[in-house]
Amino acid sequence: MLNALTRLARSPLKKEITIVHTDPDRLAADARKLSSARVIFGFVSPTCDMARVHRTLSEAAPEATLMLSLSAGTLLSQTDQPLYLSAESQSIVLQGWHNDLVDSLHVVRVPLHCEDIKSGQPRLSLDERVTRIRQEVERIRVPFEMDHTDTVAITLVDGLSNSENFLMRAIYDSRRFPIMFVGGSSGGPLDFSYTCLADRQGVFENHALIGFVKLKKPYRYSVFGI
């Protein structure tokens, strides 16, 4: 997510974004580094208890918005750590975006109507599924002006929903969001037995979690660095 953020002065994003790599034993202490974050993005190994991670971050950063996802392995660019951390590791990677970077923020859950898919007995047709998700998308009311140069939609999707394409078609069909949607799907154990997401309200599944983030000047968002 960091690579697409640029500042006119081209300076490193040191005070604006805090990156923490931790594990369940160190989480409570390390989470204090994120106490002033506006929003915390978290990628959590399936060997960790997501409910405990959510509770700990909620207590350590009571004012922060949370967007958390189980992950089947993570990439970490800190020089003193391995680049790749497997799903079996007790790994928690967190990004805290601070008020110096974030101007406005709005996070929503979008129901994916995927319960029939997960049961192994799909009942909805493609068009019916897209229509239901589009109706959910059309209920979203972002309380600030969106511009593709300074606003991005960070999108996390239930990775067992098989609904990523349905969601994006519904978003495009709604013609309501003139910005980029970036993100991916939640992971989990390699036997595909479960996955989950979490926001400030708690841990959940069968939804997408979308964070509309408007950056403060002089920051901007672009797909390619300029």
87-130 pLDDT, tens digit each: 778 889 999 999 999 999 999 999 999 999 999 999 999 999 99
179-199 pLDDT, tens digit each: 999 999 999 888 888 999 999
The confidence score (pLDDT) of residue 134 equals 98
Percent over 90 (pLDDT), the chain: 76
All residues at 6 or more sequence positions from 10 whose CB lies less than 8 Å from its CB, including other chains: none
∠ at Cα 110 (104, 115), nearest 5°? 160
- The DSSP annotation for 84-101 comes to EE-TTS--EEEEEE-TTT
